[in-house]
Each structure stands twice: as C-alpha cells, then as structure tokens.
Structure 1
C-alpha cells in the first residue's frame, strides 16, 4: 500500500508530464502498438538514458541441450571472484528487450557484483509465445556449465538468477518449477518483477496510468505472451507453490510501479514457505527506473550497490 509520505521523485514527475502528453497525442492519432514499436521504445529509452557500461572481457556463445540453442553474452569483469555466476534475464514484457539493449545494465551488475554474468537472449512473444522464453532460461540453467567449459571460462557450477520486470517473471517461474529437482540455483534477484499474470493486485489500479508502465500495456503484453493457450493464474509465480526449497530471494519494488504489490506479496509468501527473502523498496521511483538512469542516478546506484552487498555471501 502507498504510504502517506510517499512522493514521486521530482525529476521523474517532470519527465512523466512530457511522456504522458506524448502518449495522449499518439492515442488520439490512432496509434496501434506492435512488437516493433514496443521493442524500439524500450531500446530508445535505454539508449537515451543509460550511458555505456564499464569495459570488460565480453564473449558470446550458444547454450545447447534444450529445445532451442539459446544465444548468451558473457561478461567477465576484472574483479570477478569464484562465487556463483549470474544468469540475467532482461525486461520487456516478454515482447521487447534484448541482450544488446541491456548491455550497459549487465555490465554494471557484473562489475558491481564482481561476478561472471551471462545475459540470456531468450525467445520473445508474439513470435514465440509461452513457454518458449521460460524453457530457454531453464535450458540455460541446466546446460550453461557445459557451454562455459567449451569457452574455457571457469565457474563453480552454481548460478544466481537475476532479472527485471518480465525477466524477473522468468526467473521466479524457473525457481518455482525447479525447486523440487536437484538444481544449481543459489539465489534469485527480482527487480520490480512481474509475478501475477492475473493482474489482480491493488497497485495495478493505483499506478496503472501515468507512470510509464500502464495497465493496458501490461494486458497487451500478456495477451501476446499467452495467446489464450495458458491459464494466467496457473502460470503466475505469485500463485505457485512456496517451499523451503526456493532459493534465497531479494525483491526490489518501486512505490509508483503497477507491479509493486505482487513483489511485496511474493516476499511474504517466500518467507511463509520457509525460504529466505529480503525486500528493498524505493519509495519515490517508478517501474523500469534502471532504464532511465541519468534521470535517477542515485537510485540506480543504490540498486547496484545493494544487490552486490546482498550477493556478497552467496
């Protein structure tokens, strides 16, 4: 629930006035959203507001072993240690985003955490609806070790799942499905994640208009992702099984994000199920604020620092 003292960051407020005016003009002109517009919008947003990331060794490979050879980009910062490597799933509502779009963000996480980071180019809807992207992530979890071995990249066979928005949904979904199987997931970091495909939380209504990510756009994403082939409730990580076998979890939420409440509820359910969960809340932020870093540099820096501190002992 929003707190009485919660106030939107002033710079975001000014920026959103212009964004909302532009959105209103597009709707009045009969704008029709397409996968092209969704992908270009996220790519341009990130390019305009996130500077290139730090220099480090970068390579690419395919992860074989599942139904599809999954392309991945591997980041190796100079300060990397021997701990579990990060598997990163980008945001974009299962329809947008890419390894290339998220390159600066992944570089920042790799350097801040001092770990090898593997960014996953999972398949996107509507061309590849549910569960293609989820299957890609699970395939990477199961077969990444062999792919890294072929590249001569050292690892300890343990992984940390990390993702924002729709990528957070994939991470939580994979953790849910793998919790009863022998697996190599030590932790998951979910950044303003999408966890309830039924869209029933109060924050969807409170923040579903005027704060960049709008309710009607979320519904459009989900319609393209499921295409009527799956019960959204059954696919939702928030409505899955919560046991002590889930990995240690860190969830980051933003006060003015429509997905806020599902993140809060997920933390509660992880704890009730017997696993460890931590929650970091940003009381003046909106969804996807890492993609507009130059507007909110302090909040973005706090994310990278806190995630690094959380993973220090993992």
Structure 2
C-alpha cells in the first residue's frame, strides 16, 4: 500500500485546503504567482543556510544572451572539480536566489565548485531559450573561472531537479556529439525527461501531492509557445549512447514525473553507462525545497550525491 510520509501529511493537508479555497475564489495561475509560490515554499521550509567560503556573481558570455551565474566555492585554496546545477521550477519559476540554500549544501557536501546559471524563463523566454543558456554555461564556464583567477580541476559535472533536470539531460544529450564539451557525471533529482506526460505516474499522482498533473500541463503550455513537437523535445526519446555521463537519478513515489525518471535511468544503463537510482517510496516532488520537514531524506540525497560524484 502506498503511503505518503507522515512528515509531509500535515503540510499537504494544509496546502490542498489552501489551493481549494484559492480556486473557489477565482484564482488564476500566472508566472508571478508561480514564482512567488516556489520562493515562499523554499523560504519557509529550507531555512538552513550553510556557510560557503567564497560566493561570487559573474557572467557567462554567449552569443545573444550573457548568462548570469553565481559561483559557490567551498575551498578556494584547492583545485576542486566543477558542478553546473540548474534549478527547478517548471521552466517558469525558481531562481539562483530561491535555490541559494540548496546550492550551498551541494557545494559543501560534494566539495565541488557549484556554478548556478540564471537561465531565462518562460513565458517571457519560451523553449529553447533555457536550453541555449544551459549549454552556453557549459561552453563558457572555464573562461569565466579563469577570468576570476579561480583555482579548479578541469572536471565538469551537471545536475538539476525537475525542469532543471530536463536542462541537465538536454545538455548531456548534446555533449555526446560535441568534442569540446566533456561532462563526467550528472545528478538528476525527480527530473522531467518526457514532455508528452504519457506515463502512469501522471494519472496516479494527478492531485493532492503538491505538484499536480494539471500544473505540469500548464507549465509545458507556457514553455512550448510555438507548437513544437514535445516528444522531439523530450530527452527520454533522444539518442542514448556510451558517451553520456555517468548518471545518478532520484525519484519520488508521489510525483507525476516518477516514471520518466526511472525510464531515463534504465535507458542510460542500457547504453552501457554507469547509472544509479535512489527512489523514495513516501516522498513527493520538490521535497529538497522542504528540507525542514524531511531532513533525513534530504541529507541522504546530499550524501549519495557526494558518494556518486567523488567515486
């Protein structure tokens, strides 16, 4: 029998009651309240901010749009490997500021220089702007670190959660065929890899578990504004070769994206690439942003990320 963690039940009951009242009062979703919602959730339930030795803002220079980045370096005197991590938020919400506590934990726990790109968001900048910014970050990261005179080891990994996981898998797909970009490993937390929404978890977890299936559809409608083929845009249906990076996937049972995360993991493994899968049978989507409620689970994710990146 499937059961949500008791740690999340009071939150979900309150959240669902609030959503019902908002809908009854005529609430209409837009980019502003989507961004406020994720920001308020994270600010309320991810309150522990660890110290990072060096935090600096910079730019990745690229054609058409210079991507702002924040660099989290836990040990500036050492030559550390680099992790480019893309925040989640349905391609519409989230930001480097919102994800600050998560970036800090990533840097300290994995002992990597974490580079956090402020990629462009829909609906103002629909597909493929976010993917272009995501790849431009990889192409320009060494030049930016050099410009700052920062010590590093030329070893690059990528990661992301939810829509950020979609961006991570997108850049990993392109890098398979780009001799100038070498990605060693990727970390994917409840990643979006299939925009067709055609897996059982979208039905099983349609309502009641924070991220509703209808909200996913709304995010995707705002992301794909020009009638693009969503299957063609989905990394789950792209090429899986032995040139993909080693992959670590986290999935949650009560998450609409559960099945596509598992399927992506299986396809990477099927391509002969090392892959690991960590499944939580009682968690929902976005639990990393609710660390105060599920501290043990979040600590396990960071610990496993550290093991995977540094093994």
Instruction: Report if aligned partners of 2:161, 2:189 keep a CA contact under 8 Å in 1.
Output: yes
Give 2:100's aligned residue.
Answer: 103
Give 2:138's aligned residue.
Answer: 141
Counterpart-to-counterpart distance in 1, 2:76 and 2:21: 47
Counterpart-to-counterpart distance in 1, 2:310 and 2:77: 12
Instruction: Report if aligned partners of 2:105, 2:302 keep a CA contact under 8 Å in 1.
Output: yes
Which of 45, 52, 67 is matched with 1:49 structurally?
A: 45
TM-score, reference length from structure 1: 0.96
> Measured at CA, do residues 295 and 52 of structure 1 come closer, stay the same or move farther in structure 2, by a change above 3 Å?
closer
Structure 1: gaps (5+ residues): none
Question: How does 1:292-303 map onto structure 2 within 5 Å?
Answer: 292-303=290-301
TM-score, reference length from structure 2: 0.97
Residue by residue, what CA displacement relative to the aligned partner does 1:18-63 show, whole Å, maximum 9, x if unpaired? Answer: 1101111111111100000000000000000111421121001000
Give 2:226's aligned residue.
Answer: 228
Deviation at 1:68? Answer: 0.9
Structure 2: gaps (5+ residues): none
Counterpart-to-counterpart distance in 2, 1:260 and 1:204: 8
Counterpart-to-counterpart distance in 2, 1:100 and 1:223: 25
Give 2:13's aligned residue.
Answer: 17
Deviation at 1:273? Answer: 1.6
How large is the Cα RMSD of the aligned pairs?
Answer: 1.3
Q: Does 1:32 align with 2:44?
A: no
Question: How does 1:150-169 map onto structure 2 within 5 Å?
Answer: 150-169=147-166
Give 2:196's aligned residue.
Answer: 198
Indicate the SS of the match to 2:62.
coil
Residue by residue, what CA displacement relative to the aligned partner does 1:63-112 show, whole Å, maximum 9, x if unpaired? Answer: 00333100000001138854421101000000000000000110001000
Instruction: Report if aligned partners of 2:78, 2:152 keep a CA contact under 8 Å in 1.
Output: no
Indicate the SS of the match to 1:285.
strand
Indicate the SS of the match to 2:276.
strand
Give 2:302's aligned residue.
Answer: 304
Residue by residue, what CA displacement relative to the aligned partner does 1:147-206 show, whole Å, maximum 9, x if unpaired? Answer: 110011122332110100000000001111221111221111000001100000100110
Deviation at 1:134? Answer: 0.5
Which of 173, 177, 180 is matched with 2:174 structurally?
A: 177
Give 1:209's aligned residue.
Answer: 207
Indicate the SS of the match to 2:7.
helix
Question: How does 1:266-285 map onto structure 2 within 5 Å?
Answer: 266-285=264-283
Counterpart-to-counterpart distance in 2, 1:310 and 1:81: 20
Counterpart-to-counterpart distance in 2, 1:270 and 1:208: 27
- Number of matched pairs: 309
Indicate the SS of the match to 1:229.
coil
Residue by residue, what CA displacement relative to the aligned partner does 1:244-268 show, whole Å, maximum 9, x if unpaired? Answer: 1100000000011110000000011
